[in-house]
Amino acid sequence: MDRLTIVMVRCSLVWLLGGFVIGGLMLVDRAMPGDWRLWLQPSHGHMLFVGWFVQFVMGIAYWLLPRKRSPERPLGYREDLALTGAAALNLGLLLRVVAEPLERTGHASDGTLALLGASAVLQVAAVVIFISQLWPRIYGRGKLGRPATAGSASSTS
């Protein structure tokens, strides 16, 4: 596996564990002070969906989708940019997990709003980076399993 895939899959497993811990706390809501279930419900969902599932899929997609390797991109993608995207995804999710419960517990402020805004920007940036990195790797196959080129369809007719 590439270093990026290892980082993303391991981060996704950390989010899976965190999501299950929060889920466990939500199950014993009666025994905990406050309204844990209401405070953490959206964060719990995002930890499991974005942190675990989406990040796991993205990491595996970097690893498994066909690659157009070149001397400039020996992995078929820019590793530095992809790692930046992974960091943005995780930092954005972490900011959301911190700020959203504060908003829901009545501690809303300009600071929590700024954290949620930064969270959204980071997560959208991560997805844009992911798409930009993998878009060129998605292409059809021509005859005999070779990548299709612009002139291949018209020249064989």
Q: Is residue 151 part of a domain?
A: no
pLDDT at 29: 77
pTM over 0.85: no
**Does residue 149 fall inside a structural domain?**
no
* Phi/psi of residue 141, nearest 5 degrees: -105, 140
Model confidence band, residue 38 (pLDDT cutoffs 50, 70, 90): confident
Domain count for the chain, please give it: 1
- Report the chain's mean pLDDT, rounded to a whole number: 88
Range of the domain at 107: 3-65+75-138
C-alpha to C-alpha distance for 134 and 120, rounded to whole angstroms: 21
Element housing 65 (H / E)? none
Q: What is the DSSP string of 94-127?
A: HHHHHHHHHHHTT---HHHHHHHHHHHHHHHHHH
The answer to whether residue 130 is domain-embedded is yes
The reported pLDDT for the residue numbered 90 is 98
Q: How confident is the model at residue 140 (pLDDT cuts 50, 70, 90)?
A: confident
Bigger pLDDT: 147 or 62? 62
Query: 145 in a domain, yes or no?
Result: no
